[in-house]
Homo-oligomer: A and B are copies of this chain.
Amino acid sequence: MKDFTFYNPTRIEFGKNKENNIGQYVKEFGVNSILILYGSDRIKKDGLFGRITVSLEEQGIVHEAVGGVISNPLISRVRDAVKVVKTNNLKGILAVGGGSVLDSAKAVAAGAKYDGNVWDFFIGKAEVQDALPVFSVMTLAATGSEMNPYGVLTNSETQQKYPIGSPLLFPKVSVINPDLMASVTPEYLAYSAVDIFSHCLDLYFTASFLPDYTAALIENILETVMRTTNRLMTNPDDYYARGEFAWTATMALNGNTFVGVEGNSYDTHMIEHAMGALYNVPHGAGLAVVLPAWMMEIKDRCPERFERFAKKIFNSADSDEGISKLTEWFTSIGAPVTFAQAGLAEDTVDPIAENAFGNAKLWGMDEMYPQDRIAKILKLAVK
Contact = CB atoms under 8 A, between A and B. Distances in A.
Interface of A: 1-9, 11-16, 18, 178, 211-213, 216-217, 220-221, 223-224, 227, 239-240, 243-244, 247-248, 256, 259-260
A244 B216 CA distance: 12
A260 B224 CA distance: 14
Given A213-B220, A220-B216, A220-B217, A6 B12 contact: yes
Which of A12, A213, A217 has its CB near the most chain B CB atoms (within 10 A)? A213
A213 B14 CA distance: 15
29 contacts: A1-B14, A1-B15, A1-B239, A1-B240, A1-B244, A2-B15, A3-B14, A3-B15, A3-B18, A4-B14, A5-B12, A5-B14, A6-B12, A6-B14, A7-B9, A14-B260, A211-B240, A211-B243, A211-B247, A212-B244, A213-B220, A213-B247, A216-B223, A216-B224, A217-B217, A217-B220, A220-B220, A244-B260, A247-B259
Given A3-B16, A213-B247, 17 more contacts: A1-B14, A1-B239, A1-B243, A3-B14, A3-B18, A6-B11, A7-B12, A211-B247, A212-B227, A213-B221, A213-B244, A213-B248, A216-B220, A216-B223, A216-B224, A220-B220, A247-B259
A250 to B, nearest CB: 9
Contacts of A259: 14, 247
A298 B162 CA distance: 54
Nearest to A2: B15
Nearest to A9: B9
A6 to B, nearest CB: 4
A224 B213 contact: yes
Contacts of A14: 1, 3-6, 259-260
A380 to B, nearest CB: 32
A49 B260 CA distance: 26
Given A18-B3, A247-B260, A224 B240 contact: no
Contacts of A220: 213, 216-217, 220
Nearest to A215: B220
Contacts of A9: 7-9
A221 B7 CA distance: 20
A260 B223 CA distance: 17
A257 B7 CA distance: 18
A358 to B, nearest CB: 34
Contacts of A13: 5
A7 B172 CA distance: 10
Contacts of A6: 11-12, 14
A329 B149 CA distance: 42
Given A220-B217, A247-B213, A11 B1 contact: no
